[in-house]
Every structure is written in structure tokens, then in C-alpha cells.
Amino acid sequence: MANFKLLFLLFFICTSGLMAKDYTKKREVRVFIDQMVKQHKFNRSELNRLFSHTKFQKKALAIYVPSLRPKVKASKKVHKKQGSWDTYEKIFLKESKVTKGVSYMHKHRNTLAKAYQKYGVQPEYIIAIIGIESHYGVNRGKFPVFDILTTLAFEKNRRKRFYKSELKAFLLMTRREKVNPKNVMGSYAGAIGLGQFMPSNYKTFVVDFNKDGKKQMNHPSDAIGSIAYYLKRHNWRKREPVATRVTYPGTRYRGKKTGYKHKYNRASLKGITPKNKFNYRDKVHLIKLKRTSYDELWYGTKNFYTITRYNHSNYYAMAVYQLAQRIKSKYQKTYGKSLR
């Protein structure tokens, strides 16, 4: 699942040539191969072949190593600074994404209804996640996942340990699913499929929803079922709200700490009132969205927190919520009914 902050960095990184590299010359790679052979019974010759013909992924490494990024000349133009939520909204909540989401929902309505019946996750949230993660399958990633993970696991960067673990999970996953590791494409971070699952999520959360004997996040049925299952496993509550906008005194909120890491009894939030009817009695999170000239403030529920387990970002969860609501509304207007 992609990290939103890193997504923005991609706008400043140019596509660079890929250099073939023999990673078996690195001692830590040879140690890794030894471990995979001894602990997981991999074929040593096959691993040596894979790691000796790896394309160094400079573009992905540049996300974590600023010195690898091309220098960008400063513009002389003075632009009015936008609020961070204004920027997110333009990218992830544009009308074309809503329209395409409605079509995608209708196309896969039977699978979505099955997932709702089994896991209790409303269809619009599953579709919104697929829309944000891969634009409904259009942007699943064009990077070779094995090469990406190898580069990030064995080149110096602050997340080496994480990517080494993901590389291990990836090799185990491709062996289980009988897939050539060199043929799997994904994001600049190694995320795969319609829902952009990292390899470590496959064994636990990917389900064979269409019962064809394979777990494939590039297949709509498996992706829909897996996203629903992921949310359910992270305590999604059926028929409970996700968020609601609230009012507060002033235009910039500087009261209590905001974000999914903090939750409050509503009685303690003096001067904050839901703008619409809100039947929810548990503790809430205060979610602040920075606009150019003011802050939007929202209550986030347990289901809002659950969405942040998919991607640890308040803005990500709010983008999923708002896109889901817009898709649901347009679907009802287009087809005259809700998909439940």
C-alpha cells in the first residue's frame, strides 16, 4: 500500500536508465541466499541466477536517498501556497475518478455484494481503495518487483531492513503461487495489484475469492475479497459510520491533538459540533484537513482508524471516505439504487 508522502516525491524524480548489476558479489546478498536455502529450501542455483541479473532501480532508491535525485531549477514565478488538503483533493477526488469508480462498481457488483455479505464492508469503500491505489487497475505499477525489492534491500537507505523482509516474503509468495519472480510488476515500493498489497500481506490477507486455486491481487475478484477481508481483520464495523464534519470556533484549529493516534470522549470536546446527524457513541478522533485559508475538522470513528491500517495516513483515510461517499451517491443517481 503506497505511502502518500513518497508519492509526491515521484513528481520530482526523472526516469533514469537501468543498469544491470550482479548482486551476488555483495556479501550480504550471499548471506541472504544462504538463509533462503537453509531455512526455506530454495534452490541455490536459481537464487544465484536471479540475483546475478538484477536491474538496479535508481528511481526507487532516490526516494530514500536525496543525493540521487536530479536537481530542479527553482521557478521565478511566485505561486500562492495551497493547503495540503486542497492538493490531495485535486489528485484523488477529481470527478473522473468518481465516474470511473461508479462504472467499476457496476461491473463488479456481484462480487462486491458477495464480499459485503461475507465481510460486512460496504462496496463503495472497497472501490475507493482500488481507485486510489491503482486507478481501478490502470496504474498497478510498471516496476519489476524483484529488482525493486533487491535494490532497496541491499543498497544503503534507511528502510533496508524492511525491504529485505519484503523481499523474503515476495520470494516465498511467488513460489507458493508458482509465478516467475521476474515477471511480477508493481509500484516503485514493491506493492502489487489492484489494491497495492506489499508481499508480506499476501500470506495473511490475500484470499482466493473466485475459488480458482490462485491468490492474485491483479484479479478483480481476489482484490475485492482481499481488501474486504483486510478491513474486516482490522476490526471494520458493519453499518457504522466512518467520519462526519464538525464545526469549531475560528478558522484554524489549534485545540487538542489531531489525527488517528488520538481519541476523545465527545463530551470533552467543548465547542465542537457535528454538522449532520451523527449516531455514534464511542470515542472519536479529531481529523484536521488544512485548506488554504482555513482548517476543516472532522470526527473519525473506529472505521476511520481501520482504514488507516491500510495506509497510516489521516489524509489517505479521509480520501478513501470522501471518494467512497461520492461514488455511492453517483451510483444511486445513475442506477436508482444502492449496491448493498
Q: What is the DSSP string of 231-254?
A: HHHTT--TT---EEEEE-SSSS--
pLDDT of residue 3: 55
pLDDT of residue 80: 52
Helix axes 220-233, 123-134, angle to 10 degrees: 110
The Cβ of residue 114 has, within 10 Å, a number of other Cβ atoms equal to 17
pLDDT < 50 positions in the chain: 4-5, 7-17, 78-79
pLDDT of residue 328: 97
> What is the residue extent of each domain of the chain?
82-123+235-340
Backbone angles phi, psi at 163, to 5 degrees: -75, -25
Backbone angles phi, psi at 94, to 5 degrees: -70, 155
pLDDT of residue 304: 98
For residues 67, 68, 71 and 72, what is the CA-based torsion angle, rounded to 10 degrees?
-110
pLDDT of residue 71: 75
222 by DSSP, 3-state: which?
helix
- Residue positions annotated with a catalytic role: 133
Residues 6+ apart with CB under 8 A from 239: 120
pLDDT of residue 336: 86
Please say whether the beta carbons of 214 and 179 come within 8 A: no
Q: Using CA atoms, how far apart are residues 187 and 191, in angstroms rounded to an integer?
A: 5
Q: Which CATH number fits domain 82-123+235-340: 1.10.530.10, 3.40.640.10, 2.60.40.60, 3.90.470.10?
A: 1.10.530.10
pLDDT of residue 185: 96
Q: Using CA atoms, how far apart are residues 328 and 229, in angstroms rounded to an integer?
A: 20
pLDDT of residue 17: 45
- Does the global pTM surpass 0.75? yes
Please say whether the beta carbons of 116 and 123 come within 8 A: yes
pLDDT of residue 16: 43
